[in-house]
Amino acid sequence: MINHTITKQKIDYLYLSILEAKPEKHKHIVNDTLTSIYISPDGKDDSDCGAIGRPCFTIFKGDSKIRIGSNYVFYLLPGYYDYSNTTLYNLSDVNFTMIGVAGPKQTKIKLSSGGRFVVVVRSVFNCIGITFLNSFTPRSYNSFNTAPNFRNVYSRRAGVELTDFKLTIAPFKIRNSNATLINIYSFNNSIENFLASRKSEVAIINSTFQLNDHDSLFEANYCKFTIYQSKIFSNDISVLVSSNFSEINIISTSIYYNKCEQGFFFNTSAVTIYNCIISENVSIFGQLILATSYMNMANVIIKKNIGLGVTSILFHNFDSASNETIFSENISPVGSVIVNEARSFTILNTLFTGQTPIDTTSISIYGNGELFALNSVFHNLTGTCVTSDSQSIIVFSDVSFLKVQGKIVQSFGKGEVFFGSCIFEENTAFDHLIYLSNKVSAYCFNSRIISNKCASFFEINFESSLRGVNMIALNNFFQDALITGSNSFGISLQYSSFINNLGVYKGVIFQIDQSGSINITDSLFYGNKSPFGTFIYFRKIATRGWTECNNNFMRNTFNTNTASSSGALVYFEYNVTCPFICEECFESHNVATFGDLVNSEYWNFTVLAPNHTNTPQNFQVVITALDAFGNRVLGRNDVSFLVDEQCPNVNLTGIKTTILNSNGISIMYNLQLSGEPGTSCVLNFTSDPPSKTGPVYVNLTLDICTDDHKVVSYQSQLYCLKKGGISDIVKLIITSLMVVEFIIVIIAMIITIIYRNNRLIVHSNIIFLLTVLVGCLLLLGSIITSEITADITCILRNIIIPAGLFITSLSVIAKQIRLWSIRRQLNFQKKTLMKTSYFFKCFGILSIVPAIIISLNAIVSPLKPTDIINLNNHSVTHVCTSQHGVIYVIINLVYLVLLLLVSCVLIFLSRDYRSSPGTFNEPTYIAILIYNYLLLKQAVVLSMMKFIEEQEQQLDRNRDILMFYELYGNDEGKLNFANHNIFTPDTPSPSIQHGSGHINPPNDNNNLHNNNSIIINQYNKNISHGLPSPPNKSTSDSPSSIPSDTIQRVTNNHINNNNNNNHINHRNSIKDLDAIYGSMAFNNEEPMDSPFTKSLKSKFSASPDNLNTTNNNNNNNNETIPQRTSVSTPNSPVSNFRRTFALTKKKKNKK
């Protein structure tokens, strides 16, 4: 072992041995055994100089006086000596001492420009109390700013003897001599070397070297070289001390503020550094370079040094030791504070401390080096404490790592690391504190790991291993875990305790893949917390090929460990290659918020979905995420699911992507599958991250649409929608009613044709009636086209509905126009109200506009079958629609409404007219029909049926009046009692002679125009169908019961008319008389009369006053017709009417 101490006795002996040759008194004392020579800046070099009273100027002027074996002492008096032009002086085989009498501050020498001052050979040389300054000589190579490469310098100097000693330029050249420099001050010298020695013993004592620029301050070859209590600072030097095959002792010396390539270069030397300070130096290759040299360093403070190359302080490749040394705040950006390539480097009671602005490695070990750190401390460092990339051995015994910010140990390359009784406390790192890779074996015994913060404390991979015994890990904070392992690792722990540790992201104690082996026995795990797997977190295998799976867990205790997510003890991130089995273990109060004791990462999922659905019908899918053990994956939302169909002509819509909920279930809402009913489709469910067992496939069949549903395509989707529109029951009812109505209309048409010669039908015009019925048939036929939606039915509907509506309405409107025309022309009593030609003419004119509209609608915008889709109630209605059909409908309705409004006006103007026969009130019922067309089009047929029924009832009740009209009416419906066909078939009708009781034949030569004019004027003033008002009901039926005043008024009217016109038509008088009887018969109330009949009788009855027509020219004519007492002629009109009326009443009573 290296001696770690240098005794004070040895130092003192060395110092005394150096002073043996010196005179005991060297100030103002002349020794008889010594030759004393005085030197002064004011002295003169002559043959008599040298005495104190006559000093010399140069030291070596009196060289002729120096003899071999003699002792000489040169006393330099205070002052400045400029020896820049002096030459080199050689000393050989003498004892030579130079003493600055006043000390170095007052004794100053400027050396020659050649840089040489003295050469000492086989002598004893002492230089005391002198300052050497301001010397300049060219140098062989530059210093710090243009320094050569470290390896070049190393190869140049290592193991090379400076044999060409004569070429060395230095003020002091010592060879085979003893040289001592005491209290020397070297300042601002630019010389290749200050002192060069070979095979000598040199001591530099209590000296100072400042602001010098040298290649080498001291050079020692085969020497014993000592620097004691000196100061070397602020120099710009290539090498402070260069040695070859020498013993170097640096004691109690301060070295600081120097700029150099290497501070000290030792080649094949023994170096002792004791009680020194090496501070704030800047070097390229380090302050201490030891090549095949051993070093013993004790009680040294090395701080704030900067190394720009391999190292900042120490590089060595031979056994070395450091005892009670402090390394503080040293910086090596690209290297280390200490680079060790030695077989043994011992650190004893050493402190590495001090944060630096740049991460710095404290110790680097290369070339199978060994490091033994004993009783040392690494405190408050920034960077890496120890790193190794070779088969090195690193031993830490009773070492404390405190508040290290970085890595503690990095070891690569089949090395070994031992931790014995170590303390790791309050260290922090962004990644790993101890990193072991590439078959490194680590051993940790009786160590304490307390309150550290890092990603992991031990990272073990690539066939590296860790064995720990009696370890304690307490109150640590890990981002990954205390121990992480991968790629065929090996972990074995016994009798260890892990208490109150916290893992942030995954596990807390172990985070390993399943490629290595782990053996945990007889250990305690208490109060640890992490999101997953407080004991072991099995992560995915980083590199495939390792599946050793040799795990052993026995006699462990797990108590009060908590996983905030799942896996209270164990969690598998990926495949479960190595199952977890713990034998003879105790477990208590270990909980996981969203899991069990053992869980795994999301493994696969199940899908709950219907196996059939409608198209499209909303359905939902329930997805359950499971781990490898079949447990639900709880408390996570980082798993998403996607569904897609793998079917042609099938479209899937809805929420097809969903995220896992914290309860382990995800639901896809409002999914819709659209396709051809009866199609089977496979739904493909995938997840992200992918399921370990692959996608899940679900076969879903689209149900076939039922009979009441229909397949409809809408917005690229097929829908199975319920058929809308009229239900079958309603269709059946409507169809039944339509058939009934159709039959009724057909029957009406048949009846109309059969009874076409009936007066009522003839009066209304059979073509008109048939046309109205045909329009009704068309409207009824449109019901069929409405129930059946097809191309042909849509086309027919486009034509039939408006055609039927217009045919019916225009026929009635044409009839009303005719009624208004008759009302205007006062032409009432005709056989028919409207001729067929007039009807066709009027109907044709009115139909021009509808024909154009219908044609344009059918050609330009025809109705086409279209599905009206209502997704709110999931129904579809197949109807006929047109893009611009509503425009034509509006035009049709506007035209029809205009015509109907005009017809309403005409009806109002004709409201007092009662067409013949008297009860067929056409204007009123035409108004009803028009009202129906305007507001109740669908009730038109019912209105017509009601109209016909009411007319039949009225005709039945008023049969007597109709029979009266048949007896006394002419072809135009006018009453004509002079018609001879009424009374006798052979004789003409009698007429009443004025002023007599005889009835005369009719006179065709009478002025009918005047008579008719009188009658028209009477009707125009008071329309009453030519019937007089009936008498009271109590009045007798005989002609004699007619009041005489009535007959008188009638007679007077005729007389007045005859007087005004000079012609009297006697037939009119008789007609008026018989009209009175007809009116009496009409106004007789019968018990069976309906209220409507009664209203008609009261409405159409005429009072006697109504028959009193007065002429403006009858004021002077008061002639009256004599009262008619009786008419006894059997065939007279009155008798015939009475017989007919009585027979009618008898038949009616029988009924």
- Take residue 473 and report the two structure tokens written for it: 């890990």
In a domain, 470, yes or no: no
AA letter at 982: I
Question: What is the reported pLDDT for 508?
Answer: 96
The answer on 181 and 89 residing in a single domain is yes
> Which of the listed residues 684, 703, 723 is the one where a domain comes to its end?
723
Count CB-CB contacts under 10 A for residue 170: 26
Residue 971 pLDDT > 70: no
The CATH number assigned to the domain holding 907 equals 1.20.1070
Q: For residue 1053, how many C-alpha atoms fall within 13 Å in the half-sphere facing its CB?
A: 23
Rounded mean pLDDT of 868-887? 78
The answer on 780 and 692 residing in a single domain is no
d(CA 307, CA 296): 21
Mean pLDDT computed over every residue of the chain: 75
Task: Enumerate the β-bridge partners of residue 526.
Answer: 499, 559
- Which segment, 422-436, 621-635, 880-894, 1111-1125, is predicted with the most confidence on average? 422-436
The answer on 968 and 903 residing in a single domain is no
CA of residue 556 relative to chain centroid, distance = 48
The answer on 751 and 633 residing in a single domain is no
Cα separation of the two ends of the chain: 160
pLDDT tens figures, 640-683: 999 988 787 788 888 889 999 988 899 988 888 888 888 888 88
In a domain, 422, yes or no: no
Question: What is the reported pLDDT for 839?
Answer: 79
Matching residue, tokens 């305790």: 497
Task: Enumerate the β-bridge partners of residue 298.
Answer: 274, 323
- Cα dihedral 709, 710, 713, 717 in deg (nearest 10): 30
Q: What percent of the chain has pLDDT over 90?
A: 31
Count CB-CB contacts under 10 A for residue 942: 14
In a domain, 357, yes or no: no
The answer on 1144 and 1063 residing in a single domain is yes
The answer on 969 and 930 residing in a single domain is no
CA of residue 58 relative to chain centroid, distance = 96
Question: What is the reported pLDDT for 545?
Answer: 55
d(CA 711, CA 707): 11
In a domain, 1051, yes or no: yes
Q: Please report which confidence band the pLDDT of residue 1035 belongs to, taking 50, 70 and 90 as the band edges.
A: very low
Evaluate whether 521 touches 496 at the Cβ level (below 8 Å).
no
> Which of the listed residues 953, 976, 1007 is the one where a domain comes to its end?
953
pLDDT tens figures, 322-369: 999 999 999 988 888 998 888 889 999 999 998 888 888 999 998 888
Which residues have C-beta within 8 Å of that of residue 804, sequence separation ≥ 6? 775, 776, 777, 778, 779, 781, 782
Which residues have C-beta within 8 Å of that of residue 49, sequence separation ≥ 6? 43, 55, 56, 57, 61, 62
pLDDT tens figures, 285-304: 888 888 888 899 999 999 99
In a domain, 319, yes or no: no
Residue 421 pLDDT > 90: yes
Q: Domains in the chain: how many in total?
A: 4
Where do the H-state alpha helices sit in 203-256?
A: none
Where do the H-state alpha helices sit in 861-884?
A: none
d(CA 730, CA 724): 12
The answer on 715 and 756 residing in a single domain is no
Rounded mean pLDDT of 965-970? 55
* Top-confidence residue, 824 or 700: 700
In a domain, 49, yes or no: yes
The answer on 989 and 866 residing in a single domain is no
d(CA 334, CA 312): 10
SS (H, E, C) 449-487: EECCEEEEEEEEECCCEEEEECCEEECCEEEEEEEEEEC
The answer on 702 and 851 residing in a single domain is no
Residue 786 pLDDT > 50: yes
Residue 525 pLDDT > 60: yes
Residue 407 pLDDT > 90: yes
Residue 959 pLDDT > 70: no
The CATH number assigned to the domain holding 638 equals 2.60.40.10
In a domain, 1078, yes or no: yes
Residue 897 pLDDT > 70: yes
673 is in which domain, residue-wise? 604-723
**Which residue, among 309, 335, 337, 317, has the nearest Cα to 325 in the 3D structure?**
337
The answer on 692 and 774 residing in a single domain is no
> Which of the listed residues 256, 290, 322 is the one where a domain comes to its end?
256
Rounded mean pLDDT of 251-265? 92
The answer on 146 and 83 residing in a single domain is yes
Question: What is the reported pLDDT for 928?
Answer: 54
- Cα dihedral 794, 933, 904, 774 in deg (nearest 10): 70
In a domain, 146, yes or no: yes
The answer on 776 and 676 residing in a single domain is no
